[in-house]
Amino acid sequence: MEYVYAALLLHKLQKEINEENVSSLVKASGTEVNQSQVKALVAALADVNIDEAIKAAPAAVAAPAPQAEAGAEEKKDDKKEKKEAGKSEEEAMEGLSSLFG
């Protein structure tokens, strides 16, 4: 994540996003630099218009909210299933006890 932040900072400062600049910023933050991650980031950002990506970001941020609601519904469904599964286990135990009882 620190590599992405470094690239965003370089973009904000209108500096070139290259391996040397990203590495320098990450190193200055006190983090050990992984050159393969730096190279991958610089290569991935080569054809990206960062200004357009930033403008599109609020739409992407708003998307997780409905998923969170769906997650809450799934949790309710999971609880119902566990209750039903618990009844099945109880019924199975009753059946076993009748065999041995």
Q: What is the DSSP string of 31-58?
A: PPP-HHHHHHHHHHHTT--HHHHHHHHH
Per-residue pLDDT reduced to its tens digit, 52-67: 888 887 765 555 555 5
Residues in contact with 74: Cβ distance below 8 Å, sequence separation at least 6, in sequence order: none
Domain ranges of the chain: 1-62, 63-101
Give the pLDDT band (50/70/90) at residue 101. Answer: very low
Percent of residues, the chain, with pLDDT higher than 70? 57
C-beta of residue 33 within 8 angstroms of C-beta of residue 23: yes
CATH class of 1-62: mainly alpha
C-beta of residue 21 within 8 angstroms of C-beta of residue 10: yes
